[in-house]
Amino acid sequence: MTPNRPLLEVKNLKKHFPIRGGLLGRTTAKVYAVDGVSFDIAKGETLSLVGESGCGKSTVGKALLRLYPVTDGEVYLDGQRIDNMAASKLRPMRQRMQVVFQDPFSSLNPRMRIVDILGEPLSNFGMAKNRADLRERVGLLMDKVRLPRDAIDRFPHEFSGGQRQRIGIARALAPGADLIICDEAVSALDVSVKAQIINLLVDLQDELGLALLFISHDLATVEHLTHRVAVMYLGKIVELTDRRTLFAKPHHPYTKALLSAVPVPDPTAPRNRVILTGDVPSPINPPSGCRFHTRCPLVHDRCRVEEPALRTVGEGHSSACHLTHAPGELAMAGSA
């Protein structure tokens, strides 16, 4: 691996879903689920992708995993372009990039014992010499996610939700992945179990140098584990920065609104709350100009017609809002 090269690079990724209608099943409209998203993730780094339901987070994850073809853009894993790679060549990529979904139960075969659930990826990637070796390797995976080894012959229904999510994580680790996409991986868990799984992910990251793309609709969940945060709104990233800056000095009005909804330890402390009104507009027909303009408390005329680019507003901090312009620039833009 070349030093300083990101493990994952995503450039202008788009995923549009055709909507077919009429007798001939022609494409009558498109869902602009992901509409030009760029970010990168370093080895051993956690980037969180947050935003309201339907903004395109899971679609980003699934497009990266090549669960469906991408509409446009480029994706590089360790410098190798993977978005247009022939299906026959995807195997090594799949070994390095794995996913953990929200509901481990539905993705774990109820008729398979843990030894076989975790043994499957090991066999698929030719990582076990024989049955005894496979059992030993499964045992090591169980140690990693802190599941008791004597549970190796149990079935998924014999585990609690948190334990099942540990199995999901072990399955993602099995092929030796260095990037794990966690799509709402802790969202369905109770608070205390959620904290345990988050701690496990942080420990595994330290131990194995894992990179994580952590997808969550909830900013509060990502605060304790992420290095950087990308905020999505209707298929676009509207703000991207490190965790500390995002929580202390958010720039985009949408990020400020999301943060206003995060519970704080002292609810009586003074805060500048930004309450979001109205529903998220449809990604089939996104608003003109800035997609957030229909709900933005700071909207002005320019926002309705001109789409703001994602611009640098500080070191390692970018935001897509016309208010990011330097005052002189705004004045110039206004007089044009």
Summarize as ranges the residues that interact with ligand ATP (CB under 6 A).
17, 31, 33, 51, 53-59, 217, 283
Site for Mg ion in 33-92 (CB under 5 A): 58
Beta carbon of residue 188, minimum distance to ligand ATP (angstroms, whole number): 12
102 binds Mg ion, rule: CB under 5 A = no
Question: What's CA 194's distance to the chain center, in Å?
Answer: 17
Measured between alpha carbons, how far is 258 from 250 in angstroms, rounded to an integer?
10
Beta carbon of residue 52, minimum distance to ligand ATP (angstroms, whole number): 7
* Residue closer to Mg ion, measured from CB, 51 or 250: 51
Which runs of consecutive H residues, i.e. helices, occur in 46-190? 57-64, 91-96, 104-107, 114-124, 131-144, 161-173
What residues contact 8, with CB distance under 8 A and at least 6 apart? 40, 41, 64, 75, 76, 77, 97, 179, 211, 213
54 binds, among Mg ion, ligand ATP, none (CB under 5 to 8 A by kind): ligand ATP
DSSP 293-319: TTT-TT--HHHHHSPPP-EEEETTEEE
Beta carbon of residue 59, minimum distance to ligand ATP (angstroms, whole number): 3
204 binds, among ligand ATP, Mg ion, none (CB under 5 to 8 A by kind): none
Beta carbon of residue 300, minimum distance to ligand ATP (angstroms, whole number): 27
Of the candidates 209, 244, 240, the one whose C-alpha atom is nearest the C-alpha of residue 44 is: 209
Q: Which residue is nearest to Mg ion (CB)?
A: 58
| H/E run at residue 220 | helix 219-222
Beta carbon of residue 60, minimum distance to Mg ion (angstroms, whole number): 9
CB 229 within 8 A of CB 243: yes
245 binds Mg ion, rule: CB under 5 A = no
308 binds, among Mg ion, ligand ATP, none (CB under 5 to 8 A by kind): none
119 binds, among Mg ion, ligand ATP, none (CB under 5 to 8 A by kind): none
* Residue closer to ligand ATP, measured from CB, 211 or 280: 280
* Residue closer to Mg ion, measured from CB, 50 or 320: 50
CB 90 within 8 A of CB 75: no
Q: Please give the single-letter amino acid code of residue 320.
A: A
* Residue closer to Mg ion, measured from CB, 8 or 182: 182
Residue matched to tokens 């970010």: 39
Beta carbon of residue 230, minimum distance to ligand ATP (angstroms, whole number): 12
Enumerate binding residues for Mg ion (CB under 5 A). Answer: 58
